[in-house]
Amino acid sequence: MTTPMDAVLVKRSSVEGARAGTDTESLAFDVFDFVHAMIWDGYYETNQINPKAIDLYHVEKYYGEIMNGGHSQFIHNTAAAEHSWNDALEALQAMGASKHEHILRRMMSWVEENPEEAAKQTGFTGGIAPYLDQLDEEFYEVNRESPLTDMTSRWALGWDELRAVDDEEFEHEIIKLTKLNPDRSREMASRRIDWLNRQITEWLYASTGMAAAAVPGDGGRRYLYSPLEAEVDGLDMLICKIDTLDRTRWAVVSDSWTRIYEFLEENTEAKSQDDPEDDIHAAIRQKAAAWYGKGHAGAQLSEVDAARTEDIINLAISHDAAVALDLLLRNAGHEEETKVFVSAIRKSRIWPAPASVEWAIIIKDELLTARTSAIGASLTRESSDGTTLMLTVDAHQIAKHHLRSVADR
């Protein structure tokens, strides 16, 4: 583990603006950007970064969520990291934002007293508790009187650890700091393996990826948007919007199958979001999917049964497929790319070789194909001159990469 960083880099113009009172927002934004870069580009642990900067980072996240979608959205997006709520409280207390602090404490008390209701929060109409609506209104009123970004910048201005750099050097200095972490390569691999493993083994990701890969030309699933739960004729369904290589689709997931439907844009104004489920129920009964807002479903494009998805997930786990794919991508020169999307295409077997899984990988808008099995893995891509390039790794190399990147975490 590296020595914790005391210094917090910010732009000189932001410090000057905060001191003169002409710009009371940019300094807080700079601290947020600094922490974000250290965590997501430098792969530092939060305990390796100045604790005051971490606290400010979380209070800025709180502020951004509330201004965008209220406390309901904030709970939905951060419930898995409740420790960040305490960091935000510490920052609010340190800067003297007592009214903002009181609102956040009341939200935390409500979550503790109403865990089931808290778990249902979405930030969308129909998924917002009335009490949280009330907290939102109070927050907006308090913030009009005492803008939180002004208070965070004034607080940061008093830090001894603040280090102002010339604006044109800011990005360069940030990059230099991210590269200084000696654990960066290992942490980079660990986090990407976690992300790949989630896509390969979690049911919603794995099933929608397989169904998307079954649609000719779609190249598998890329982004997956928050699903909506629905019950139709006694069956539990999940409906979500997904992006493939260059298209948007609807995905419907049941216990028995996953289907992909066309996404049809709508030119009229968005539908009411007060009661979207009626449209969804009717659409599923008609073998189509619908969604509230702009967009309807067209033809069903694919269906993958649950047994096939489960078989692929079990094979992927037995191959350590996430580790194998990460190693292949590193060897192919994609060590630093975090936006990697993987979908299973099919299970295959060429006797006497063991069963393997074929994968579609989307990286930097490029579509690659890979294969994993118990004895190794391979990656295929087309080069600019039309030739096929192949990278291979064996089971020993995969196991070594696992030990180096995952096992000691």
C-alpha angle with apex 167: 165 to 173, nearest 5 degrees? 55
Assign 170 a pLDDT band (cuts: 50, 70, 90). very high
Instruction: Write the pLDDT tens digit of every residue in 284-304.
Output: 555 555 444 456 777 889 999
Say what the pLDDT of residue 357 is. Answer: 95
Instruction: Write the pLDDT tens digit of every residue in 112-166.
Output: 999 999 888 877 665 688 999 999 999 999 999 999 989 999 999 999 999 999 9
Find which of 25-29, 122-126, 185-189 is predicted with most confidence, using mean pLDDT. 25-29
pLDDT (mean) for 242-253: 91
Domain ranges of the chain: 8-182, 210-305, 309-407
Instruction: Write the pLDDT tens digit of every residue in 250-295.
Output: 898 999 999 998 887 764 444 434 444 445 556 555 555 544 445 6
Say what the pLDDT of residue 194 is. Answer: 94
Say what the pLDDT of residue 292 is. Answer: 42
Full strand arrangement of the beta sheet holding 388-394: 340-348, 356-363, 366-373, 376-382, 388-394
Report field, pTM of the whole predicted structure over 0.75? no
Helices marked H in 21-50: 26-40
CA dist 132 and 128 (Å) reads 7
Residues paired with residue 40 on neighbouring β-strands, in sequence order? none
Contact 186/21 with Cβ under 8 angstroms?
Answer: no
Query: What fold does the segment set 8-182 form as a domain?
Result: A middle domain of Talin 1 (1.20.1420)
Give 279-290 as a DSSP string.
HHHHHHHTT---
Assign 51 a pLDDT band (cuts: 50, 70, 90). very high
Residues paired with residue 304 on neighbouring β-strands, in sequence order? 258
